[in-house]
Structure 1
């Protein structure tokens, strides 16, 4: 397990997870991870400016719009290319997210440093679904 106890507590206590780059296509990882998180009881907020609805829930163009309409967002799960991460991190800081999760292959050290400097926990290059399943298997959730 690669997660520290503080990160596990954030995941355990989280109620709302924004999935940045969520796709309406069921074969895309962003869609299947969002669906899994919904099945686990999280309120999932898809972020994709090209769509109005994904997985039967309202989709937002950005994190600021999502927070304004949906309320607090605890975790921001990012499915974007590494070089496109910084604006989402800035918004995550602005909305007061507790955890920024960059999915497999998504690494941006500069953005991570900015988030950590603002007091936000950051995980990079990991799949939230995979780690969530592992935490459940180990009875940590």
Structure 2
């Protein structure tokens, strides 16, 4: 199985839905999202418990995004337990996302296989912010 080209993904796609983003600045999901925002990426927070995170409208799920936002999502960056990844992948497939990206420590091979079979690129167990800094800064 060929691994996706992270540099190409980060150059090509600039709209990231962050599933499981926390409003707490000390949480990795918040810090990663702040970094990607500062680097010019569009962040769409997905957290059912909050209406706003980082000054951005937060949505309860990928499938409940407004149509124009749903169509713009390219990368789905997942900060959820491995057992919670598969339903997020199902939603990402349903909205037409291009990439599933799970953060450090998050691996779900069943969900990854399902995403690949649907034509999505999959990156697991890597921090999008660390990879961006490694490649571009």
Band of TM-score, shorter chain: over 0.9
2: CA distance, partners of 1:30 / 1:123: 16
SS at match of 2:37: helix
Is 2:124 the counterpart of 1:124?
yes
In structure 2, stretches of 5+ residues that fail to align are: none
Number of aligned positions between the proteins: 134
1: CA distance, partners of 2:36 / 2:28: 12
Out of 58-67 and 34-43, give the one that drifted further: 58-67
Normalised TM-score (structure 1) = 0.90
2: CA distance, partners of 1:48 / 1:23: 8
SS at match of 2:73: coil
Number of the residue aligned with 2:109: 109
**RMSD between aligned residues:** 1.3
Q: How far did 1:9 drift?
A: 1.8
Distance verdict in 2 for CA 1:67–1:14, change over 3 Å: farther
1: CA distance, partners of 2:66 / 2:134: 29
Normalised TM-score (structure 2) = 0.92
Extract structure 1 runs of 4+ deviating beyond 4 A: none
Q: How far did 1:67 drift?
A: 5.3
In structure 1, stretches of 5+ residues that fail to align are: none
Q: How far did 1:4 drift?
A: 4.1
Distance verdict in 2 for CA 1:29–1:17, change over 3 Å: same
